[in-house]
Amino acid sequence: MSGCTDMAFRLISREHKAGFCFFEMIDANALYRGHKDTIRRLKTHRKDTPIAAQLLGEKPHVLLDAAKKLIDLTDIAFLDINAACPVRKVTRKGCGSALLREPQKLFEIIETLAINLPCPVTVKLRTGYEKSSPKESQIIAKNCQEAGAKALFVHGRTRAQGYAGDIDYDAIKAIKESVKIPVFGSGNILNPVLAKRMFDETECDGILVARGALGNPWIFQDIEEYLKTGQIAPKRPLPLKKKTLKRHLYYLEKYKVLRPKGRLGFMRKVAIWYLKGVPEACKVRDSIVRARSYKELIRVINGVIKEAPSPKMPSS
């Protein structure tokens, strides 16, 4: 997730049993030009492993040069090609999910990188551009495999749906049935029940958690436990949420993950993720937004003492 999965986010996720993590999505053109902020996003830690990188671009030679630079800068388990991002500023450049409209270009990109890189190449896809089509998805998936892709990550929505609407589990299952390489399901995995549904309905080899982990790093261990036992973990108490939030902010501060100019603003954003739903949330949010330093933000967090109300149990 661009703008979210920095090193602090990844370290917190790993502490709660995330199996592997990605760098934030990397613009191949920016890395190719040596953009400082893009290179800063590649900051990592000895505990931040295994890790993969996802490149966004549309020109095979630029993607290849950027990938080689990336591999020189950091050790990655594999390189993923983004053919899934639905954001307009991305697709209008022919990148992300726009590659689904030019599949031959996508296959050329995969082949170019697979032949010339020392690490495995994977692809992030959607179930279609305007409409979901299991048959068309199967054709694209097979050709990705033939071009050299070693795994597919499939978001179960179309480009037109963006991040809203129903997940097309049938399309993901169709892709899984059409290829021999691993297929990972993605989209709307916001809790353990939805994670299990993805496995059950698609028979995928694994899943990707994205928005479900924002302010909720426990989701990874909760999914693992639910898949093993069928038990739903209890809601985390406020003191634990605050402790984990402060640890997340500490990583952001200690490792200087972001430039000083944008760091505090991002810290406020992270705090709002964790404290969403607490009583008097508007007042808490206002206090977070008005914090003018890291220390002041910590004081605001320490001052949040009210628990969110427990959900009512259904009557018998």
The catalytic residues are 85
Give the residue carrying structure tokens 């206090």: 287
> Hey, how many other C-beta atoms are within 10 angstroms of the C-beta on 248?
23
How far lies 169's CA from each of 155, 178, 219, 301, in Å?
10, 14, 21, 40
First to last CA, the chain: 42
Q: Are 11 and 48 in contact (CB under 8 A)?
A: yes
Residue 128 falls in which region: left (phi positive, over 0), alpha (psi -120 to 50) or beta:
left
d(CA 210, CA 21): 10
